[in-house]
Chain A
Amino acid sequence: QIQLQQSGPGLVKPSQTLSLTCAISGDTVSSNSAAWNWIRQSPSRGLEWLGRTYYRSKWYTDYAVSISSRITIYPDTSKNQFSLQLNSVTPDDTAMYYCARDRWLSHFDLWGRGTLVTVSS
């Protein structure tokens, strides 16, 4: 059964870096047909796609323009997982963060269970 297992702290201080990891079982992060995404959800922003990483003979990353200056998404092939780093967080980054898979840069067909991240001192 294909699953995405999220991990990472639920509380981050303002100005620090938010770091989350999504471990993949039943698929591979270096699949030539999948892309691995981070999405967040908050009452103020709704559902917001943050970015993705994917392998097509080499590694690619795409980021939402609104957040591109602060975000890094990267794979770890040795652990079959991918990670999110979001720098210089503010309380506005408080949200439920989801990892998700898409096939061929298409719809999200598999989601992690979500991690609630609160930015507060």
Chain B
Amino acid sequence: RKEVEQDPGPFNVPEGATVAFNCTYSNSASQSFFWYRQDCRKEPKLLMSVYSSGNEDGRFTAQLNRASQYISLLIRDSKLSDSATYLCVVIPGGGSNYKLTFGKGTLLTVNP
């Protein structure tokens, strides 16, 4: 089983749509969780951290379910500028506290 698995995508949605990305992780000792965004041929950039209580940043909502080892990202009212690859990222913990473990990424295209 891969350490971090994401919806394979791609997702094609119209402007204004709500879209959800799902991610699971295998290491129950994992301590920190993030969503990164990567534009085509650019570097990954942190979109938001994911906290146990769930957190929201404008149109973006992240949820964490430790029991199910599941992370989600919800984007409401999609904009053309949201088109990118969304990467689920976990810090494994348990002696591997320093590396980011990335999922394969899910490509989102928002269409006019």
Partners in one complex: no
Write the residues of chain B forming the contact surface with A, with a CB cutoff of 8 angstroms: none
Write the residues of chain A forming the contact surface with B, with a CB cutoff of 8 angstroms: none
